């Protein structure tokens, strides 16, 4: 008698496991149309990735969700092209997917393997990209193993040029790379959180945009004011690094008026784009319903067998 329930039990359990992932997927993914105006996303891989590592990166960047995409590789030779005094023998692992957006949309940055990008934050990438002259794009960064994340910026430069046909100003990319280096140095040496460093850089840039300093002394005053305002204490060496960096940025041909709004909106855009996935996982009602379903299923099946045993006993 017990065996007659086995097919029904298996059918129910298979149905449950089939329905749950489908419901979850329906909440976080949708069929994407090919953007005929701005083009398909471009994926840039670090040249030193093994085949297995490349597959990990593809999975992390959700390449399978794109109906079409372009692929390129970034190497040490690209590093030399975009960053002066860099090492052509550098090993490149950080990778990224770049999707262009309409003008005015700003930057949306996501590090999809945060456990493997150990030094650079999404806000740091965004700030450096604006310094380099990159605007209006969705950028997702990934690495298959722990790396600092600096080389991903070079891949983003190359992908942006390939995608837009524009040539980035190498003076700006040099300063952008220096910005990334200074940001991570301050975070490490000054025992300052990554978020605080990103806020510091953003606020200093806003002040530079508003006050348009013409001398290094004026830049130094802006830096000191913001350090005091945010209650950040730096060594004299790191403070000098920051002043020198901002003085370089002041001298670049940059439309500073765009920076303030774009960086202020960054955190909100990241949450809007990627928050739905975490919301689903954290949805206690959804998972409580799943748990109750299985509990009820077990109770029901148990009652079947209990009834069957009672019938046989009688």
Instruction: Specify the number of domains making up the chain.
Output: 2
Instruction: Quickly list H helices, the chain.
Output: 6-28, 51-60, 76-82, 122-132, 150-164, 170-189, 194-211, 216-229, 236-251, 259-281, 284-313
Same domain? For 145 and 185 the reply is yes
Same domain? For 115 and 221 the reply is yes
Residue 222's pLDDT is what?
96
Which among 102, 109, 147 is positioned nearest to 129, based on CA atoms? 109
Same domain? For 202 and 87 the reply is yes
SS3 category, 46? strand
User: Would you give the distance in Å from CA 10 to the centre of its chain?
Assistant: 41
Tens-binned pLDDT, residue by residue, of the chain (314 aa): 444 444 444 444 444 444 444 444 444 456 678 888 888 899 999 999 999 999 999 999 999 998 899 999 999 999 888 887 788 898 999 999 999 988 888 888 999 999 999 988 888 888 888 888 888 899 999 999 999 887 788 999 998 888 888 898 888 888 888 888 899 899 888 778 888 888 898 889 888 888 889 999 999 999 999 999 999 999 999 999 999 999 999 988 777 666 656 656 653 544 454 443 334 334 444 334 434 433 444 444 344 434 444 434 33
How far apart are alpha carbons 179 and 128 in whole angstroms? 6
Q: What is the pTM of this model?
A: 0.67
Same domain? For 186 and 226 the reply is yes
Which among 94, 93, 125 is positioned nearest to 109, based on CA atoms? 125
Same domain? For 203 and 220 the reply is yes
Which among 145, 151, 176 is positioned nearest to 45, based on CA atoms? 151
Q: What is the dihedral of CA 127, 132, 138, 140, to 10 degrees?
A: -80
Residue 265's pLDDT is what?
63
How far apart are alpha carbons 162 and 139 in whole angstroms? 15
Same domain? For 158 and 298 the reply is no
Residue 53's pLDDT is what?
96
Q: Give me the domain span that covers residue 11.
A: 1-30+284-314
Tokens of 164: 């837009």
How far apart are alpha carbons 271 and 265 in whole angstroms? 10
Helix pair 150-164, 122-132: axis angle to 10 deg: 50
């Amino acid at each position: 008698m017990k065996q007659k329930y086995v097919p029904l039990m298996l059918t129910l359990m298979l149905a449950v496991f089939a329905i749950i992932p489908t419901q979850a997927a329906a909440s976080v993914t949708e069929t994407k149309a090919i953007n005929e105006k701005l083009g398909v996303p471009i994926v840039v891989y670090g040249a030193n990735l093994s085949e297995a590592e490349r597959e990990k990166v593809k999975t992390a960047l959700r390449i399978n969700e794109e109906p079409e995409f372009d692929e390129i590789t970034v190497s040490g030779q690209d590093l030399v092209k975009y960053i002066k005094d860099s090492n052509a023998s550098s090993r490149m692992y950080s990778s990224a997917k770049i999707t262009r957006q309409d003008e005015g949309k700003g930057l949306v940055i996501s590090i999809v393997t945060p456990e493997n990008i150990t030094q650079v934050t999404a806000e740091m990438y965004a700030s450096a990209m604006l310094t380099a002259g990159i605007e209006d794009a969705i950028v997702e960064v990934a690495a298959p193993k722990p790396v600092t994340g600096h080389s991903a910026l070079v891949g983003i430069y190359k992908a942006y040029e390939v995608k837009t046909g524009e040539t980035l100003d190498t003076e700006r990319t040099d300063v952008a790379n220096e910005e990334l280096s200074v940001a991570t140095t301050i975070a490490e040496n000054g025992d300052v959180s990554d978020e605080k460093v990103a806020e510091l850089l953003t606020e200093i840039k806003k002040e530079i945009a508003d006050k348009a300093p013409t001398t290094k002394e004026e830049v130094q005053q802006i830096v000191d004011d913001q350090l005091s305002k945010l209650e950040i204490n730096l060594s004299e060496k790191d403070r000098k690094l920051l002043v020198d960096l901002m003085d370089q940025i002041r001298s670049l041909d940059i439309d500073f008026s765009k920076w303030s709004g774009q960086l202020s909106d960054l955190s909100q855009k990241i949450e809007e784009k990627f928050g739905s996935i975490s919301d689903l996982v954290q949805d206690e009602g959804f998972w409580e319903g799943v748990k109750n379903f299985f509990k009820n299923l077990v109770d029901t099946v148990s009652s079947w067998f209990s009834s069957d045993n009672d019938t046989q006993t009688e």
